[in-house]
Structure 1
Amino acid sequence: MKKLIFILLFSLVCSNGTTFSLSRDYEILLHVKNTQIDDKNKSLNDWLPNTDHNPCNWRGITCDSRNKSVVSIDLTETGIYGDFPSNFCHIPTLQNLSLATNFLGNAISSHSMLPCSHLHFLNISDNLFVGALPDFNSEIFELRVLDATGNNFSGDIPASFGRLPKLNVLNLSNNLFTGDIPVSLGQFPQLKVLILSGNLFTGTIPSFLGNLSELTYFELAHTESMKPGPLPSELGNLTKLEFLYLANINLIGSIPDSIGNLISIKNFDLSQNSLSGKIPETISCMKDLEQIELYNNNLSGEIPQGLTNLPNLFLLDLSQNALTGKLSEEIAAMNLSILHLNDNFLSGEVPESLASNSNLKDLKLFNNSFSGKLPKDLGKNSSIQELDVSTNNFIGELPKFLCQKKKLQRLVTFKNRFSGPMPNEYGECDSLHYVRIENNEFSGSVPPRFWNLPKLNTVIMDHNKFEGSVSSSISRAKGIEKLVLAGNRFSGEFPAGVCEHVELVLIDIGNNRFTGEVPTCITGLKKLQKLKMQENMFTGKIPGNVTSWTELTELNLSHNLLSSSIPPELGKLPDLIYLDLSVNSLTGKIPVELTNLKLNQFDVSDNKLSGEVPSGFNHEVYLSGLMGNPGLCSNVMKTLNPCSKHRRFSVVAIVVLSAILVLIFLSVLWFLKKKSKSFVGKSKRAFMTTAFQRVGFNEEDIVPFLTNENLIGRGGSGQVYKVKVKTGQIVAVKKLWGGGTHKPDTESEFKSEIETLGRIRHANIVKLLFCCSCDDFRILVYEFMENGSLGDVLHEGKFVELDWSKRFGIALGAAKGLAYLHHDCVPAIVHRDVKSNNILLDHDFVPRVADFGLAKTLQHEGNEGAMSRVAGSYGYIAPEYGYTLKVTEKSDVYSYGVVLMELITGKRPNDSCFGENKDIVKWVTEIALSTTHEGGGSGNIGRGYDCVITQIVDPRLNLDTCDYEEVEKVLNVALLCTSAFPISRPSMRKVVELLKDQKWALPKP
């Protein structure tokens, strides 16, 4: 009986102890909710008082079923605010605490971490914590996992990390840590995972990391601030390492042979560095390798044969190096699913054994010197999704099995010597959406069903020997955006079914044998930008109902058999800059409406046109485009027949007319005498003038008014004036000084402006109206921009109501203007001085890119892109430009990214508030980096953007919720554009797409 009583008493005591423990935890949790965190999103609504004092059913709480105590708190993505809730750690049984992806902020003190010494797992990632990491003292020794990625932690990593002997996982990526990687990080005896990517370290990879003998995962990538240095040979000591990711951290030198000691490695990524020398043969010792990524380096020599000894390898990317040799039979026979060997110097034939690889999905061999035929069974045993073998010396037919598994999406074979017909099997390839097979020797008819493949959006197959007709079934597939068939032998009528493709932006079917009439329905394609149908045998009329062609920039119907008259409606196309109707049988007059167009190419030569040339085309620059029309006449251009009036004048009429002429002459003399002597002197100068638009003024209406009263700006090369001419139009006049030591630069700038702006037309590029030169100076006359430059509005106290919607419109418009220069001009034009002062704003704040004095055209041949001196403006110059003097479109992209940051912040590129040796790019990047997911040197701000943007946004803006989302998007684009590596920057065409895409966000790597 006594024994039974003892057991009952013992059970009661234990039960009371358990109840007390759970009750204590319950009180702590409620206290933290009520005092230390702010549950704005009501995610912890179930954390409510209850009669049992039991929190085990609350959201995020896990209890030990035996001891009835809280062991885990997981509040990931609950949307809580506040400081670090250290009181959670007063629960003595708590082992795991996860507060990831919330809005917790401010600094964490070492004192607040003391109660957490018993934790095994601590995750505070993706919050807004700032300052230094807390100093871990000797009392904290139980921590196994510490994840602090995606915050604003800064300064050096504390040396006290060496006092965490049981640590298994350490993730400090995507913060603002600086300095060297501390020695303490090489002293973890049990560390298995170390992630340090996306910080601002300035040192090199330390050799002492080779002491982490238990390490299985090491990531230190996209940290462009690191000092150039070698890959330490000591890393070969990490024999348990399975994942190594060291991309984009300025590695130089050769890959050490010791790397072969990584016998457990599966993923080996040293891409986007400056490594040189050969790939070591010891790589064959890495038997477990699944992925090798060494692209974007300076590696050379042959591909090691040892790669063939890696049985598990499925991804091999050695692209964009200087490797030589050939694709060996052994490598082709490997079980690779992704093989990228593009942009090397590889040659020889592709082994037949590659076709036996059942895993192959992605094959890229472009920009090499491969020859021979592709394996005939390629695709028979594997589900190939992308094939890119462009720019090689391949011959023969395409493999007919390439789409046998119905997975092929991209077929890219341009610039080879492939021949024969397109395999009939490709007509059944419903997965295909992108085809570029131009500049080969393909022949025969295209399979009829190919034309209506459901996912096709790009078809570029020009300059081959294809023949036959384009099937009317093309109407069934309605997603084609680009259709380029030029330079083939297609015949028959061009099918009206093409009009069903409402997304078409480009049709180029020139130099074929098409007959019949131009389909009238083609004028309904609202997104069409270029229509090229030259050198065919089209007959009939030019379609006249063209009101839907609001985006058309180029129309070429030359060298056909078109008849009737030129439709005057063509003169209403707002963006048309290229019009070629030459070598047809067109009749009638040249419509005067065409003079409304802002053309840089106008050709109606070799037709049967008649009548007087409209005044807008009465200029020598248009003469070649008018020749071959015997019926045309002009009293201005002497090469053409004069226009006779065939009228009889009486003697009285002649006398009256003579008297009127004498009176006019005397009036002019009197007017000139009234002018100042300085003007008289100037008017006698020998001027050379050129009008690029239809203008109603000349140099005499401009020069006298270049006075101090009309001066509105000064620059290094001259002055700018505001002049109202006799037509009432207000123009801006840039006066460039000649003579003296500055004459060569002035002449170069003058020529660059007229050569560039004189031949281009775009809604977001300033219009050059007129130019004039004499011995003393040069003048350039532009359309006047009422709101001045973007720099004036943002920085010079000329602030007007520039809300976010206007700023976004300016960003998008300027991007469109630069994209036109880079992608639509032939050859491409690089501005070289993109800045806010060179973006002008009209009365509606529509932007115009201006000042082309430093602009250069790119020929992409040899070293023509190299300049003799650095050009541009301080704060906008891309980092690579200063030491390479290499001009590319990516230099403009960087400068444009700086302008985006100006629009967001309202600050100058070199504002003193940034601190010493820091510009707007570094300032914005450091602030945004805490929530950056690295990708090619830039990132996506993602969750928490509102807090980040609040720190940098122009205080003059009053943003609402939707504005914040758009500012985030623009900031993401700015970070991409200002990447330190040109290859990581998007093209301007891509920038336009990103800005217009309402749902865009950068993907995670």
Structure 2
Amino acid sequence: MRRVVVLLSALWVVLHLWLPMVFGLNQEGLYLLEARGGLEDPGNALLDWNPRDVTPCNWTGVACSFASGEFVVTAIDLGNLNLAGPFPASLCRLPHLSFLSLASNYINSSLSSSSLSPCSSLIHLDLSQNLLVGPVPSVLPSLPLLRHLDLAGNNFSGPIPPSFAFFPALEVLSLTSNLLNGSIPSFLGNLSSLRQLNLSYNPFAAGPIPPSIANLTELETLWLADCSLVGKIPPALGHLSKLVDLDLSRNYLTGGIPESLSSLKSIVQIELYQNSLSGRLPSGLSNLTALRRFDASINSLSGPIPEDIFSMPLLENLHLYQNQLNGSIPSTSATAPYLLELRLFQNQLTGPLPAGLGAISRLMVLDLSDNHLSGEIPRGICDGNMLQELLLINNRFSGGLPLGLGECRTLRRVRLSNNQLSAEVPALMWALPHVWILELHNNSFSGRITPDIAGAANLSKLIIHNNQFSGVIPAEIGSLLKLYDLSASSNRLSGPLPVSLGNLSQLGQLDLHNNSLSGELLPGIQYCKKLTLLNLANNNFGGGIPPEIGNLPVLNYLDVSANFLTGEIPLQLQNLKLNQLNLSDNRLSGSIPPIFLNEAYKSSFLNNPRLCWDLHGPCTRSTTSKKRRKLFWLLRASCSFLAAVLIVGIAWIYCKYRKIRKVNQGQLKLNNWTVTSFHKVGFRSNEIMEFLDEDNVIGSGASGKIYKVVLGNGEAVAVKKLWRNSTKADDNHDQDDVFEAEVATLGKIRHKNIVKLWCCCSHKDCKLLVYEYMPSGSLGDLLHSGKEGILDWPTRYKIALDAAEGLCYLHHDCAPPIVHRDVKSNNILLDADFRAKVADFGFAKVVEGSMSVIAGSCGYIAPEYAYTLRVNEKSDIYSFGVVILELVTGKLPVDAEFGEKDLVKWVLGTIQQRGEESLIDPNLGLCHKEEVIRVLHIGLLCSSSLPINRPSMRKVVKMLLEVGGRGNPLGWSKKGKLSPYYHEEVKSTTS
């Protein structure tokens, strides 16, 4: 009998192996091939979907189970494969399919009810992070077995369908980061089996939190961040006994925090930040025995901090900053064993800190700035050996610094300015190896800057002005190769400047005024090529002004007044583009260099008795009275003649103007210039012409020179004068092409992140474009000309976001879409507040296919553009990715240190060899490390060698918003960590 059974089993196996080879791929495999046929697969991820196979069970992304005597497809996971196209409806014809994931692809168009309704066996459906549009399908609740539904990170619009009240057994519902409107419906409270409800980052209509949410007794996760919520937090939420994560941040909630929240026994994280909550913090928070993170910052909470808030046994992060809390910091804060971050800045807290704060905890961040705290800094503040940030600025702390801070080698940021601290700084504190900012100004510290400072290898900002430091500046300071800002003014420093200052190649600001320094002025200064500010006023320096100062390419502030400097003013100072010059109160002699003989520098040379102004030749003090009389009559005659000419000229201009004035639909001709206005302007063309000289040139590019023109009303504009022939521009891209492209593009654009074109002027072979003036210049100039130190990370992040929003407007909101074709850091301009705007549209084109010539700049051109000449938005996205890499690394897009590589390839190679952290611009330090690395990853995605891998600019904006905590569409999980999808994107990009 056993032999018969074995024989029959063998026969069954043979038949199942042989018959399919005869009759071909089974029906389920055919359905899958049909699905693949409707998708684009640029990376050949589904290459092993072979029609010659017997079954699809070994294909990529396909899983089978044995049922009813055969293998059937039960799960399909095609996430993160760069697939594009509409939803493959044939997948729902697989009768046993219970798991379907197409997450993190480019699935587009809308979802129809007919395509989904056959999926009757589905338990898990994940279509997150795609490009789906239209309404959320109302047919989904008809899928009887559905437990998990994730549609996050798409472009679904409209309200949540009423049918969603009737899911029979749904456990996870995620609609995060879509375009849903309407209010959050109360019928969601009917989904009694729900464990996760994720609706964050949708533009819902203003409305309250539905009280019916409290009916979801199985709920573990409730994410309603940035949902336009108003009203009070329902106390009934305290009945959600299984809730682990509650996020109501970035809304408009009012009233107090309900005390009922202290009943959430399972809660691990509560996020209530950026609302309008008021009143006191609730009592009973010590009952939250599982809570690790509590964030109620940026509200209007008042009253004292409850004593028991630090009695939560697992508390790690407490963020209550930017409120109106008063009273003292509870003594229980010193007994919280797992406390990592305590951020209470910008409140009204008073009194001393608990003496044992930091002694038993693993404190990493302590930010108590902008309060009224007093007393001494606790001695054991760094006993946990993990403290990285100590931020106590703008308080009333007194006494000396704890000796233990000198042994706190984990410190990265120390900001203690604007207090009443005194005594000497511990010697070892000057040598902390990881500190990048040491800010001690406006205190009463004394003692010396010790030679131990040589150990502070990462120090970028040393800001110690307005103290009582004395002694010499040690020569060891010259070993701080990352030092950008040295501000030690208003102290008692003496002696000569160390020659080693010339080693500081990254030095951007040197301010030592109001000290007793002496000796020669800055030996070796010519090597500080990135110096923008030099202030040595009110010291005892002697000797001459070094001519080498004139060779500093980006110096714009020079003050060496009130010293004992002698000799002549070096002519080399004329090489500088100075916004501020002060050589007053010295003993200088001779002539003033010609470039400074104007009213702008009138007060720059006061109290130098041996200096003289001479417009025509060398100074002389032996002029006879006869010569003086001749000069007087000559000047008088000249003034009379000029007055007569001026009167006649004014009369002629007035008559001429009245005769030829013509205004017709925004066009006017003045002096044969045709002016076309795109905005209401309050100036005339002849106001511009007189300023188009070399003294007002502020830039030059492929298409022309750019001038700064200050109009009669005091307003400044930027004027681009296009080259008269193609010798400066591309031979195949002449002046007319540039003029027409820029006028056609900018004339119709209205966006806050696109530079404004006021008007254009043309006359014969000369063409002018008049823009709004951007006083901070271009991003490229700031990043690569020695001024990068003024761009801290929050500023760089905002610049990236502004530029991305400008490009997003061009790509997605213009009809038809516009491709810039020359995105680069030099074409991103900054206003006085460092708001960024995209500029220079001389190469811009409506998306229309191939171009006859390569446009763009070296290092920014997408790889495929060079050989296909194919123009689409992906080319701009690649260039923008390079700009992001510039912001993160501070490097040029093409540099000799890269060898034959460009910036993108250099970054990829450096990641593999030394890791991501090594790429961060030293001027940024590491306090925003995680955020910087996230933005770096976005830059790598944008600069992927495969166009299909590059996200749209709309997705780029969403990702950048998430980095700033303002969205969660792509890349990161709720807790701020990279999702597996995003890791794979970066991995595939770097491989």
One fold, TM greater than 0.5?
Answer: yes
Query: How far has the Cα of 1:725 moved from its partner?
Result: 6.6
Q: Does 1:107 align with 2:86?
A: yes
Query: How far has the Cα of 1:123 moved from its partner?
Result: 0.8
For each residue in 1:681-713, what CA deviation from the matched residue of structure 2 results, as whole angstroms up to 9, or x when unmatched?
Answer: 45999xxxxxxxxxxxxxxxxxxxx94324555
> 1:240 is matched with which residue: 218, 233, 236?
218
Query: How far has the Cα of 1:53 moved from its partner?
Result: 5.4
Where 2:685 maps in the other structure, the secondary structure is: strand
For each residue in 1:96-132, what CA deviation from the matched residue of structure 2 results, as whole angstroms up to 9, or x when unmatched?
Answer: 111111233322365x254134211111111222222
More displaced 10-residue stretch of structure 1: 598-607 or 472-481: 598-607
Partner of 2:487: 508
Pair 1:648–1:129, CA change in 2 (3 A)? closer
Cα distance in 2 between the residues matched to 1:256 and 1:481: 48
Pair 1:486–1:209, CA change in 2 (3 A)? same
1:445–1:468: 8 Å Cα contact kept in structure 2?
A: yes
Pair 1:658–1:478, CA change in 2 (3 A)? closer
Partner of 1:327: 305
Q: Does 1:440 align with 2:419?
A: yes
For each residue in 1:864-889, what CA deviation from the matched residue of structure 2 results, as whole angstroms up to 9, or x when unmatched?
Answer: xxxxxxxxxxxxxxxxxxxxxxxxx9
Query: How far has the Cα of 1:9 moved from its partner?
Result: 6.7
Pair 1:276–1:796, CA change in 2 (3 A)? farther
Pair 1:114–1:418, CA change in 2 (3 A)? closer
Q: Does 1:851 align with 2:761?
A: no
> 1:392 is matched with which residue: 371, 392, 397?
371
Cα distance in 2 between the residues matched to 1:359 and 1:654: 84
Query: How far has the Cα of 1:332 moved from its partner?
Result: 2.3
Query: How far has the Cα of 1:408 moved from its partner?
Result: 1.0
Task: Letter of the 1:408 partner, please give it.
Answer: L
> 2:755 is matched with which residue: 830, 835, 841?
835
Cα distance in 1 between the residues matched to 2:881 and 2:88: 32
Partner of 2:622: 646
Cα distance in 1 between the residues matched to 2:237 and 2:140: 27
Query: How far has the Cα of 1:624 moved from its partner?
Result: 3.6
> 1:196 is matched with which residue: 158, 175, 187?
175
Where 2:722 maps in the other structure, the secondary structure is: coil
More displaced 10-residue stretch of structure 1: 549-558 or 586-595: 586-595
Cα distance in 1 between the residues matched to 2:396 and 2:770: 42
Partner of 1:709: 672
More displaced 10-residue stretch of structure 1: 531-540 or 135-144: 135-144
Query: How far has the Cα of 1:609 moved from its partner?
Result: 2.2
Query: How far has the Cα of 1:386 moved from its partner?
Result: 0.7
Partner of 1:738: none
Partner of 1:927: none
For each residue in 1:831-878, what CA deviation from the matched residue of structure 2 results, as whole angstroms up to 9, or x when unmatched?
Answer: 98962427999xxxxx9995359x99xxxxxxxxxxxxxxxxxxxxxx
Q: Does 1:367 align with 2:346?
A: yes
Task: Letter of the 2:877 partner, please give it.
Answer: V
Pair 1:725–1:328, CA change in 2 (3 A)? closer
Percent identity between matched residues is 31
Cα distance in 1 between the residues matched to 2:619 and 2:187: 90
Cα distance in 2 between the residues matched to 1:731 and 1:366: 45
Partner of 2:683: 718
Where 2:543 maps in the other structure, the secondary structure is: coil
Q: Does 1:341 align with 2:320?
A: yes
Task: Letter of the 1:605 partner, please give it.
Answer: S
Partner of 1:786: 722
Query: How far has the Cα of 1:410 moved from its partner?
Result: 0.9
Query: How far has the Cα of 1:145 moved from its partner?
Result: 0.5
1:147–1:172: 8 Å Cα contact kept in structure 2?
A: yes
Where 2:284 maps in the other structure, the secondary structure is: helix
Partner of 1:961: 863
Cα distance in 2 between the residues matched to 1:580 and 1:191: 71
Partner of 2:826: none
Cα distance in 2 between the residues matched to 1:454 and 1:337: 26
Q: Does 1:180 align with 2:159?
A: yes
> 2:184 is matched with which residue: 197, 205, 209?
205
Query: How far has the Cα of 1:542 moved from its partner?
Result: 0.8
Cα distance in 2 between the residues matched to 1:345 and 1:188: 44
Task: Letter of the 1:265 partner, please give it.
Answer: L
Query: How far has the Cα of 1:441 moved from its partner?
Result: 1.3
Cα distance in 2 between the residues matched to 1:717 and 1:803: 25
Partner of 1:416: 395
Pair 1:920–1:678, CA change in 2 (3 A)? same
Partner of 1:307: 285
Partner of 1:128: 106
Where 2:438 maps in the other structure, the secondary structure is: strand
Q: Does 1:253 align with 2:231?
A: yes
2:862–2:879: 8 Å Cα contact kept in structure 1?
A: no
Q: Does 1:564 align with 2:466?
A: no
After superposition, where does 1:304-703 map in structure 2 within 5 Å?
A: 304-335=282-313, 336-634=315-613, 645-646=621-622, 681=652
More displaced 10-residue stretch of structure 1: 384-393 or 579-588: 579-588
> 1:291 is matched with which residue: 269, 274, 294?
269
1:580–1:603: 8 Å Cα contact kept in structure 2?
A: yes
Cα distance in 1 between the residues matched to 2:431 and 2:849: 51
1:263–1:287: 8 Å Cα contact kept in structure 2?
A: yes
Partner of 1:273: 251
Task: Letter of the 1:837 partner, please give it.
Answer: L
After superposition, where does 1:77-88 map in structure 2 within 5 Å?
A: none
Pair 1:586–1:145, CA change in 2 (3 A)? same
Gaps of 5+ in 1: 71-92, 686-705, 733-756, 758-763, 805-809, 811-830, 842-846, 857-888, 922-948, 978-987
Task: Letter of the 1:122 partner, please give it.
Answer: L
Where 1:277 maps in the other structure, the secondary structure is: coil
For each residue in 1:1-58, what CA deviation from the matched residue of structure 2 results, as whole angstroms up to 9, or x when unmatched?
Answer: xx678646754564456546876896568767877357765656766799x9587666
TM score, norm. by length of structure 1: 0.70
Task: Letter of the 1:302 partner, please give it.
Answer: R
Task: Letter of the 1:720 partner, please give it.
Answer: S
Query: How far has the Cα of 1:634 moved from its partner?
Result: 3.5
Task: Letter of the 1:401 partner, please give it.
Answer: G
Where 2:222 maps in the other structure, the secondary structure is: strand
1:835–1:895: 8 Å Cα contact kept in structure 2?
A: no
2:560–2:582: 8 Å Cα contact kept in structure 1?
A: yes
Where 2:362 maps in the other structure, the secondary structure is: coil
Partner of 2:783: none
Where 1:408 maps in the other structure, the secondary structure is: coil
Partner of 1:970: 880
Task: Letter of the 2:281 partner, please give it.
Answer: I
Query: How far has the Cα of 1:643 moved from its partner?
Result: 6.3
Cα distance in 1 between the residues matched to 2:415 and 2:186: 47
For each residue in 1:365-397, what CA deviation from the matched residue of structure 2 results, as whole angstroms up to 9, or x when unmatched?
Answer: 000011111111112211111110000111112
For each residue in 1:748-804, what CA deviation from the matched residue of structure 2 results, as whole angstroms up to 9, or x when unmatched?
Answer: xxxxxxxxx9xxxxxx9976466658xxxx89797764379xxx99x9995449999
TM score, norm. by length of structure 2: 0.71
Pair 1:359–1:966, CA change in 2 (3 A)? farther
